[in-house]
């Protein structure tokens, strides 16, 4: 996995929780089910927390909790499933969510610009080669 932020490749300081016990000290990204089941514990830890949701997730299931997340990662189950674009746009424009918004899952370098234009500031590409290509794709249009 290779990350792009501000048109640069960056190291990932975040950790996706893989199993129930798999939590680091800070900067964990948990999925929605785990968040909902462990909300009060996670809040009391007061460490930076990220939330992973699918693009088709209804905003209503976490809209009241946005204040707790330093990062929201939106998963694209397939690159052709465009629901994540609307979710991102809504989070940015209507909820005024200003922290990191990350696109993860099946995203293609050719989609980088559209993802950036709806408000994603971090893109997770499959590998270094894809990330390099995505970087060039972000600069393809001088008008955006």
126 sits in the region (left: phi over 0; alpha: psi -120 to 50; else beta) called: alpha
Count how many Cα atoms sit within 13 Å of the Cα of residue 59 in the half-sphere of its side chain: 15
User: What is the nearest approach in angstroms of other proteins to the Cβ of residue 77?
Assistant: 10
Cβ nearer to other proteins, comparing 42 with 72: 72
User: What is the nearest approach in angstroms of other proteins to the Cβ of residue 74?
Assistant: 13
Task: Give yes or no for residue 94 binding other proteins (CB under 8 A).
Answer: yes
Task: Give yes or no for residue 96 binding other proteins (CB under 8 A).
Answer: no
Which residues, 6+ apart, have CB-to-CB distance to 130 below 8 Å? 2, 108, 109
Cβ nearer to other proteins, comparing 102 with 137: 137
Contacting other proteins (CB under 8 A), which of 118, 123, 125, 131?
118
Task: Give yes or no for residue 107 binding other proteins (CB under 8 A).
Answer: no
Q: How far is CA 136 from the centre of its chain?
A: 21
Dihedral (CA of 36, 38, 43, 47) sign: negative
State the Cα–Cα distance between residues 121 and 107, nearest whole angstrom: 14
Show the site string, 57-86: x = touches other proteins by CB under 8 A, - = not: ----------------------xxxxx-xx
Q: Which residues bind other proteins (CB under 8 A)?
A: 56, 79-83, 85-87, 89-90, 93-94, 108, 110, 113-115, 117-118, 137, 140-144
């Amino acid at each position: 996995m290779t990350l792009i932020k501000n048109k640069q490749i960056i190291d990932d300081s975040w950790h996706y929780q893989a199993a129930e016990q798999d939590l680091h000290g800070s900067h964990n990204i948990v999925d929605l089910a785990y968040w909902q089941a462990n909300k009060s514990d996670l809040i009391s830890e007061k460490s930076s927390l990220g939330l992973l949701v699918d693009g088709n997730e209804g905003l209503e299931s976490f809209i009241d909790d946005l204040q707790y997340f330093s990062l929201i990662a939106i998963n694209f189950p397939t690159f052709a499933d465009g629901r994540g674009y609307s979710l991102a746009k809504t989070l940015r424009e209507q909820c005024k969510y200003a922290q990191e918004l990350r696109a993860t899952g099946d995203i293609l370098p050719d989609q980088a610009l559209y993802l950036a234009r709806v408000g994603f500031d971090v893109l997770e590409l499959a590998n270094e080669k894809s990330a390099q290509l995505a970087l060039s794709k972000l600069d393809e249009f001088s008008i955006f």
